[in-house]
Amino acid sequence: MCCMGLPPIDLAVFHSEGYVRKQCRITDLWFWSTDATRDTCGDTSEDEYTFIGKPLIQGFAMRGKALKDAMREAFLTFFEQVEHTRIEPYPVLARWRDDIHLTIASIADFQPHVTSGDVEPPANPLTISQPCIRLTDVDAVGRSGRHLTTFEMMAHHAFNRPNDGKLYYWMEECVQYCHELMTSTFGIPAGEITYVENPWCGGGNAGAAVEVIVGGLELATLVFMNMEEHPDGDIELKGDRYREMPLQIIDTGYGLERFCWAAAGTPTIYEAIYPETVAWLKDLSGFSTISSQWPELNLDALLGEMSRLNGIMNIEPGVDAVELRSIFLRRLAERGISVTSEQFTAITEPLAKIYAIPDHLHALSHMLGDGLVPSNSKAGYLARMLARRTLRLRDDLGIQVPLAELAQHHIAVNLDGQSMKQTHDGLLGILELEEERYGEMIRKGGNVIVTQLKGLAKDADTVPDETLFHLNDSHGLAPDMVVALGQNAGWTNLQIRTGFAAEMAERHALIAKQAAQAVEQKPLVETIPQLPSTVALYYEDVQQREFDASVLAVRPLVGEDVPEGATHAVILDKSCFYPEGGGQEGDYGLLSTDSKHLEVLDTRKVGGHILHLVCGTFETGDLVHGSIDWNRRKQLMDHHTAVHIVGGAARRVLGPHIYQAGANKSVESGRLDITHFNRLSRSDLDAIESIANEVLGQVQRTEKTELNRKDADKKYGFDLYQGGAPKGNSIRILRIADHDIQACGGTHHDEPGQIGSIRIVRSAAVQDGVERLHIVAGQAALNYARKQDELLRKASDVYGIPTHDLPKTTERFYAEWKEQRKTIEQLEAEIVRLRTSGGGSDSSEIDGVRIVIMEVTGDLKKMTKMLKELTLDANQPTLAVLGSREGGGKLMIAVTEDTVASERYDAVALLRTIAPHIKGGGGGRPTLAQGGGSYPEGLDEALSAARSEVGL
RNA sequence: GGGCGUUUAGCUCAGUUGGAAGAGUGCUUGGUUUGCAACCAAGAUGUCGUGGGUUCAAAUCCCACAACGUCCA
């Protein structure tokens, strides 16, 4: 993280408050402290937490939600008093971004468009308390005493543009605000604060930064982001080159929960922010009875020391648990806390789980509250992972409370009054479903484990690594679950090999790294010269079909993804050809001059230019007349507007979590992918379809407006970006009454009624948590209906019945077919019996073995049935040779097992001798051989060869 | 977005090297029992997910599709 090479941060505020600049003897970082003798920066392996049992922030006696609320309010109020505008937090699902799923910091709200300078911030300067979720340290939550997956980042931001004379404040004022907040609002003595200079870089940006350390805990970071990565940059940091950027951003982050902890002085952060849930879970899990076994043990002292130790020990992930325990025991003993290994385990293990649960519930409630649907990919997977972790923690603790009930309790206590997009019942319903699916996984897992372990000796003590990897990756069974379930199933000595967890994590990291290598796509044309952007006529009038324009450039096509026959891209000064985008396919049509007509095979967009893909060229400066294939365009518009209407209808029928996960509109049909936690039934589809068609009649006109992003966000929120995050500052918004409002660059009908009708043909699961609706509208709907009719007609014509009798008749035919097939099999067997039992020419006997050599009809399957009749009766030792002329000739030979017949005859050897007569081969077991050939005419010879072979 | 797995009787699942589709449970009938549970005996139930391919022969090998599940980004 550290990038050296920046000048010292020497501010007047430091000097006036009595701070001196020193270098840390452990980290080498420069820091400011009022204590001239201090030689560590405050955040090192030698700086212990000093606030545990001795709160450093005064005046906040409450705990839990009340503490967080008070702390947040104090922070925001302070910055409002110094001219910052308070803004509402953004969702934890970062739907305005396509590079991250979750909001990981307050600055994430303003990336990438505000931080790049393209979009105005909602206020400037501003203050916010942004709920964030980071899952990278999920393993440490509960164990370390301080890690959280979900936290609020309190912040003050300023976006300066010194070139435009817009300078709000920079380092000096920023640190001054911070210092005043810490010392006056929160009453922290200046001597307890160290300001550490530690430059920051990440995500293509960099800048000087100051960490604010209080009592060994980093409470805040102040970043002065003023550089961006650039190959020609004149500042080198950590091997990358940076240059100054026009925007200079104050990016701060104050950890709300850490402030709460420093104010409460509790042994761990969890007791400060989730005291009710922790107490409840202790109760439910019977923790108090465990800890009361040892009345001589001071639990608070133990936990406090644990947190202090955790704070200074940088525990690498994957450190062996046994080793870690011995380190802790040794160091606790050094501090005068005597605890046995048994006591340590009995107390810390359940407690770590109790602490993690409210944290996970908090993150989960935020995510689901924002309308996320759990699934097995993308952001949904993160929610499922948290839900399953919580369930396992709960099960490990032996708590028998449904997940939904835990969440309900958590929300009532910790998230009261929080506005959520998802309904309360919807959220609990999703959790019930998740618990059901988890239970199902465990149940199936038991079977899978037994099957996988079958080859393993019952007294084995380890499971092969490959088996553990496989069970984890393919069946979701974590190694410790495998061991536990395996022990129940009889492998009582099983244990997890030391160091296995770390190896599995490494292996996953390696796989992820390999997968990260992106495939670069070749551009459509080599270069586009400096030209004005093409004027898009289709926005002014979606009905316009013809236009005149002049040719600005013609470029040969080089990309691979071009329509067949297209050789060149024509760029015009204006066009009403819609280029492929937003899931809507490009227009086709014609470009012509007086002497030349070129068919437009597809239309694309590169930058601000519309590329008409044609076979042939024009001269630059030619005046062309363009006309679009209107039937195609009309159909594409039908589907596009219909997709929006169906999306709105689905939201009304299924709930607020319905979000567009993708869409495509072609001439044949429209496709809409929506997020939902269950498969859709036909009656769901019917309900959506009905509402969609009602909208066609009710909404007279669609409303198309263009807003800048700041106003669009404010007016409509982030549901606008269902079709993906748009790039520019200007956003086109399509509003279909209150039914559906989206940012969309496609072409849409002014009057929805022009679509005619909408049919939802079917739904398919494109991935877990995402349903794909296939939609036909307008002419395509009519075509679809006709095609369906035709299918029905053709099917019923086969039977010669009216179409409404089709289901009944088909059912009857199928039942009869099954029955008759059975009868035929029985009859065939009967024929064989008759031909062989009567002692006819097909059957004879040699020394107590019945010999049956005969030609039959049928394939190998039927012949097998016949052979069964002949050779399965041990009381009648038999050698049977059957031949058929089907499919090039088939031969099958069987002898009754474990009888004199099988002793005397070898079916495979006999087959090999006679098969050449039908020019074939085959094989099998000594009691059953089968083969085939390519010369059915030789069957008679083959059978007589068999006769002479056995001596008939 | 990438990886992996599963799909066989109503249900839960076996099926080894490609060579005669199985078990447990449930079901039907009969027996035993005061009744239930249990037990004994006999029996029925299969588009081996769908569609192609390889092969004399495919539940098994290959390809595509579908449904379901799972790990990771």
Concatenated DSSP letters of A654-681: H-TT--EEEEEE-SS-EEEEEE-SSPPP
Residue A848 contacts residue A877 (beta carbons within 8 Å): yes
Residues A575 and A678 in one domain: no
- Is A821 within the bounds of a domain? no
In DSSP terms, which residues pair with A627 in a beta bridge? A546, A590
Specify if A5 maps to a domain: no
ipTM of the complex: 0.86
CA to C1' distance (Å), from A470 to B71: 9
Query: What pLDDT was estimated at residue A57?
Result: 94
Q: What is the pairing mode between strands A85-86 and A126-133?
A: parallel
Cβ-based neighbour number of residue A776 at 10 Å: 24
Same domain membership, residue A71 and residue A56: yes
Q: What is the CATH number of the domain that holds A79?
A: 3.30.930.10
Size of chain A, expressed as the number of residues it contains: 952
pLDDT band at A951 (very low <50, low <70, confident <90, very high): confident
Provide the phi-psi class of A194: left if phi over 0, else alpha when psi is between -120 and 50, else beta: beta
Q: Are residues A565 and A713 in the same domain?
A: no
Same domain, A131 and A233: yes
Q: Which residues are A569's β-sheet partners?
A: A555, A613
Q: Both A573 and A639 in a single domain?
A: no
Least confident of A162-171, A247-256, A494-503: A494-503
Q: Which nucleotide is nearest to A888 (CA to C1')?
A: B56
User: How many DSSP H helices and E strands does chain A contain?
Assistant: 27, 32
Name the protein residue, with chain letter, whose CA is nearest the C1' of B20: A864
pLDDT of residue A254: 97
The pLDDT tens digits of the residues spanning A715-757 come to 888 888 887 777 777 888 999 988 899 988 889 999 999 999 9
Query: Does A915 share its domain with A900?
Result: yes
The stretch A594-617 carries a mean pLDDT of 92
Closest CA to A462 of A491, A505, A501: A491
Q: Which nucleotide lies nearest residue A478, CA to C1'?
A: B71
- What is the tens place of the pLDDT at every residue in A390-412? 999 999 999 999 999 999 999 99
Domain assignment present for residue A50? The answer is: yes
Report whether pLDDT(A518) > 70.
no
Confirm if A368 and A422 have CB atoms less than 8 A apart: yes
Tell me the three-class secondary structure of A98-152, residue by residue.
CCCCECCCHHHHHCCHHHHCCCCCCCCCEEEEEEEECCCCHHHCCCCCCCCCEEE
User: Which nucleotide minimizes the distance between its C1' and the CA of A907?
Assistant: B19
* pLDDT for res A2: 41
CA-to-C1' distance for A507 and B49, Å?
33
| Higher pLDDT pick, A518 / A496 | A496
Residue A820 CA and nucleotide B45 C1' are separated, in Å, by 16
Cis status of the peptide bond prior to A112, with omega within 30 of 0: yes
State which of A219, A239, A273 marks the end of a domain.
Answer: A273
Q: What contacts A588, CB < 8 A, 6 or more positions away?
A: A599, A600, A601, A602, A603, A628, A629, A632
CA of A952 to C1' of B25 (A): 51
For residue A902, pLDDT beyond 90: no
Nucleotides of B under 7 A from a protein CB: 1-5, 12-15, 19-21, 45-47, 56-57, 66-73
Q: Measured in angstroms, what separates residue A810's CA from nucleotide B54's C1'?
A: 34
Nucleotide nearest A897, from its CA to each C1': B20
Above pLDDT 90, what percent of chain A?
A: 47
Please tell me whether residues A915 and A845 are part of one structural domain: yes
Lowest mean pLDDT of A546-550, A891-895, A898-902, A928-932, name the range: A898-902
**Distance of A811 CA from B9 C1′ (whole Å):** 21
For nucleotide B2, the protein residue with its alpha carbon nearest to C1' is A515
Range of the domain at A359: 275-297+339-453
Residues A123, A251 within the same domain: yes
Q: Report which secondary-structure segment, H or E, holds A571.
A: strand A568-572
How large is the average pLDDT for residues A109-134?
91
Q: Hunting for tokens 């399965």 — which residue is that? A: A872
Within 13 Å, how many C-alpha atoms sit on residue A914's CB side? Answer: 32
Q: What is the largest CA-CA distance in chain A?
A: 122
Mean confidence (pLDDT) of chain A: 88
d(CA A695, CA A651): 13
Q: Does residue A806 fall inside a structural domain?
A: no
Cα–Cα distance between A146 and A148 in angstroms, integer? 7
Interatomic distance A819 CA / B27 C1' (Å): 20
CA A446 / C1′ B25 distance in Å: 18
* A125 and A250 assigned to the same domain: yes
For nucleotide B19, the protein residue with its alpha carbon nearest to C1' is: A924
Report d(CA A507, CA A544) in Å as an integer. Answer: 57
Q: What is the pLDDT of residues A30-64, one digit of tens each?
A: 999 999 999 999 888 888 899 988 999 988 999 99
> For the segment A635-663, what is each residue's pLDDT rounded down to a tens digit?
999 999 999 999 999 999 999 999 998 88
pLDDT of A182 reads 96
Q: A516: which nucleotide lies closest, measuring CA to C1'?
A: B73
Identify the H or E element spanning A153.
strand A150-160
Place A313 in a pLDDT band, splitting at 50, 70 and 90.
confident
Task: State which of A244-253, A475-484, A489-498, A719-728 shows the largest mean pLDDT.
Answer: A244-253
Q: How many CA atoms lie within 13 A of A578 on its CB side?
A: 29
Can you say how many angstroms the Cα of residue A151 is from the centroid of all Cα atoms in its chain? Answer: 22
| CATH number, residue A930 | 3.10.310.40
CATH label of the domain that carries residue A702: 3.30.980.10
Answer whether A552's CB lies under 8 Å from A531's CB.
yes
CA A376 – CA A368 distance, rounded (Å): 15
A459 shares a domain with A439: no
Residues A148 and A260 in one domain: yes
User: Which nucleotide comes closest to A443 if you measure CA to C1'?
Assistant: B12
**Confidence category of residue A843, pLDDT binned at 50, 70, 90:** confident
Closest nucleotide to A136's CA, by C1' atom? B73
Closest nucleotide (CA of A450 to C1')? Answer: B13
How does residue A3 score in pLDDT terms, banded at 50, 70 and 90? very low
For residue A331, count other CB atoms closer than 10 A to its CB: 16
Whether A887 has a pLDDT exceeding 80, the answer reads no
Give a yes or no: residue A118 inside a domain: yes
CA-to-C1' span, A421 to B71 (A): 29
pLDDT of residue A838: 58
Q: What is the rounded CA–CA span in Å between residue A523 and residue A557?
A: 9
Identify the residue whose Cα has the smallest distance to the C1' of B73.
A512
Average pLDDT over residues A405-425: 93
Distance A237 CA to B33 C1' (A): 89
> What's the mean pLDDT in A62-84?
96
Tell me the pLDDT band of A1, cut-offs 50, 70 and 90: very low
Query: Which nucleotide's C1' sits nearest to the alpha carbon of A860?
Result: B57
**CATH number of A557's domain:** 2.40.30.130
What's the total number of domains in chain A? 6
- CA–C1' distance A622–B28 (Å)? 86
Lookup: tokens for A599? 């068919």
Of A826, A561, A783, A750, nearest in space to A667 by CA:
A783
A711 domain residue, yes or no: yes
Q: Is residue A548 part of a domain?
A: yes
Among residues A627, A643, A662, which one ends one of the domains?
Answer: A627
Query: A390 and A282 in one domain?
Result: yes
Q: What is the pLDDT of residue A520?
A: 54
pLDDT 10s digits, A155-196 = 999 999 999 889 999 999 999 999 999 999 999 999 999 999
Judge whether A670 lies within some domain. Answer: yes
Give mean pLDDT, residues A473-488.
Answer: 84
Listed residues A225, A258, A273: the one ending a domain: A273
A681: amino acid identity, one letter: S
**A830: pLDDT confidence band, cut at 50, 70 and 90?**
confident
**pLDDT per residue over A533-559, tens digit each?**
999 999 989 899 999 999 999 999 887
